[in-house]
A = this chain, B = another copy of it.
Amino acid sequence: MDQEQAHRWLATALAEARDGREEGGIPIGAALYGADGALLGRGRNRRVQDGDPSTHAETAAFRAAGRQRSYRGTTMVTTLSPCWYCSGLVRQFGISRVVVGEAETFHGGHDWLAEHGVEVLVLDDPECTALMRKFIAEQPALWNEDIGDE
């Protein structure tokens, strides 16, 4: 896909991640874009804000998009490599592409998605990485809770 578009779309997810940080939450954001390039939904991790462990950034964006008959041609943009839960979401619903801000601080299921026909683009965005590095250093227990790591 178009790199410039990918970076522009990542900006939406990154704005969500920054808002999450400001709220004292886990700074991961996501956005779902339609086949025509329209924004379908955006959101951020809400574990802290809502006490809701089921709302990762990707599921928040997916929920915000509401019911869709098809996800063909859609793109999930996320500031961080999607965990198994969110990778499963992408695979089950046939989301066509995933744009990943960074996969350095956490390596989720994006290789598995690529193996199963999803177009994956990892941007190695320095702001995404810096946001997570700072968060993980400051709140390691909260981060481990969010990925089910004991």
Q: CB within 8 Å of B: which residues of A? A: 47, 51-55, 59, 62-63, 65-72, 83-89, 91-94, 109, 145, 147-148, 150
Contacts and interface: CB of A to CB of B under 8 A. Distances in A.
18 contacts: A53-B63, A53-B66, A54-B63, A55-B63, A59-B59, A67-B145, A68-B145, A70-B150, A83-B92, A84-B88, A84-B91, A85-B85, A85-B88, A85-B91, A86-B88, A88-B88, A93-B148, A94-B148
B72 A53 contact: no
A71 B148 contact: yes
Chain copies in complex:
2
A3 B124 CA distance: 48
A96 to B, nearest CB: 11
Nearest to A65: B53
Contact of A88 (B71, B83, B150): B83
Majority SS of interface residues in chain A? loop
Given A67-B145, A85-B85, A94-B150, 13 more contacts: A47-B67, A51-B67, A53-B68, A54-B59, A54-B89, A70-B148, A83-B88, A84-B89, A85-B92, A85-B93, A86-B88, A88-B89, A92-B148
A91 B109 CA distance: 11
B92 A84 contact: yes
Residue from A51, A59, A65, A68 with most neighbouring chain B CB atoms (10 Å): A59
